[in-house]
Amino acid sequence: MGDSSIPLSHTAISPDALIQSVGTPGFPIVFDVRRREAYDADATVLPTAMWRDHRAARDWGKQLDPNGRIVVYCVHGHQVSQAAAALLRSLGLDARFLAGGIEGYRAAGGLTIRKSGQPNRSEGKPSQWVTRERPKIDRIACPWFIRRFIDRDALIHYVPKDWVAATAAEIGAIPFDIPDVDFSHVGEACSFDAFLDRFGVADPAMQRLADIVRGADTARLDLAPQASGLLAMSLGLSAIHDDDRDMLARGLTLYDALYGWCRFAAEETHNWPVRQQGAGAAAEHRA
């Protein structure tokens, strides 16, 4: 983890604090403000990060949610990101720079996303993704990954299966979980696995989640004890929600919880019934 002995500016966020919120709904809006040559020379970015010119932060900052939490980062957390944060704060925005930059974040064990294969978001527009209607497992897990790690504002479209490819071509969306596309089943791997492979995500918590998703989605319930539970909850949600948008909204919460368990609570056990501390404790309780 990072060096917590180094005092932080009140306008900075530590790598450890940012890492703690990766993959959660509370992850801030993140901008990569490295100089363009440094950005182009690196194969990875932070989750959901978009590149922006640090010198033009007052211009692009006017388009941001005034109530959002913003983090900007450069290579080492020096003048580039600090200048961008200062310009954004001059607009009244809650903006911080990442102490230590992306290098400090990596050194602290932070998860990064491979840039190759990412949708083009240079104009600030949300990416678009399309798949088959009536989602249950893979077609909820993949949008969860997209929204939490690729593009927090991504638009997810569900259409009849015979129209996925045509719809993708018509609106410039990326198709997934249909045959013969980049993000689909390959052998025993499911579409969720394809996303993790394409974007270079290999941290242990995500791999544990992938085992659960694959087990539930491909009828391999032996892959993880939690696969049966995911299958049951997914089928149950689908049974009570006719609208695919409602299914997606509820499903995002389900995967937030599963990923939280994989990262922070996989070794935790429930303590009921409460153990008595010997006969003396029982006598004391009766008294």
The model's confidence at residue 277, banded by pLDDT at 50, 70 and 90, is low
The model's confidence at residue 44, banded by pLDDT at 50, 70 and 90, is very high
pLDDT at 286: 46
Q: Quote the CA–CA distance of 59 and 87 in Å, as a whole number.
A: 9
- Section 240-265 average pLDDT: 97
Q: Quote the CA–CA distance of 263 and 223 in Å, as a whole number.
A: 18
Q: Is 183 exposed, middle or buried (0-12, 13-18, 19+ CB in 10 A)?
A: buried
Question: Among residues of the chain, what percentage have pLDDT more than 90?
Answer: 85
Q: Which of 95, 111, 85, 133 has the alpha carbon at shortest distance from 263?
A: 111
- Whether the predicted pLDDT of 280 surpasses 80: no
Write out the E strands in 169-231.
174-175
**AA letter at 247:** M
- Whether the predicted pLDDT of 140 surpasses 90: yes
- Whether the predicted pLDDT of 58 surpasses 70: yes
- Section 111-124 average pLDDT: 85
pLDDT at 275: 66
Domain residues of the chain, as ranges?
A: 12-114, 128-265
- Whether the predicted pLDDT of 287 surpasses 50: no
pLDDT at 33: 98
The gap between the terminal CA atoms of the chain, to the nearest Å, is 48
- Whether the predicted pLDDT of 284 surpasses 80: no
Stated length of the chain: 287
Q: Quote the CA–CA distance of 186 and 191 in Å, as a whole number.
A: 8
pLDDT at 2: 44
- Whether the predicted pLDDT of 51 surpasses 80: yes
Cα-based angle 60, 143, 258 (whole degrees, multiple of 5): 115
- Kindly report the pTM of this predicted structure: 0.91
- Whether the predicted pLDDT of 165 surpasses 50: yes
Question: Among residues of the chain, what percentage have pLDDT more than 70?
Answer: 92
Q: Quote the CA–CA distance of 88 and 79 in Å, as a whole number.
A: 14
* Average pLDDT value over all residues in the chain: 92
- Do 32 and 39 touch, CB atoms closer than 8 A? yes
Could you tell me the two tokens for 250? 């509820």
CATH number of 12-114: 3.40.250.10
pLDDT at 10: 87
The model's confidence at residue 116, banded by pLDDT at 50, 70 and 90, is confident
- Do 231 and 216 touch, CB atoms closer than 8 A? yes
- Whether the predicted pLDDT of 226 surpasses 60: yes
Q: Quote the CA–CA distance of 279 and 76 in Å, as a whole number.
A: 59
pLDDT at 273: 77
Q: Quote the CA–CA distance of 146 and 195 in Å, as a whole number.
A: 9
The model's confidence at residue 100, banded by pLDDT at 50, 70 and 90, is very high
pLDDT at 1: 41
- Do 33 and 39 touch, CB atoms closer than 8 A? no
- Section 201-223 average pLDDT: 96
- Section 127-142 average pLDDT: 98
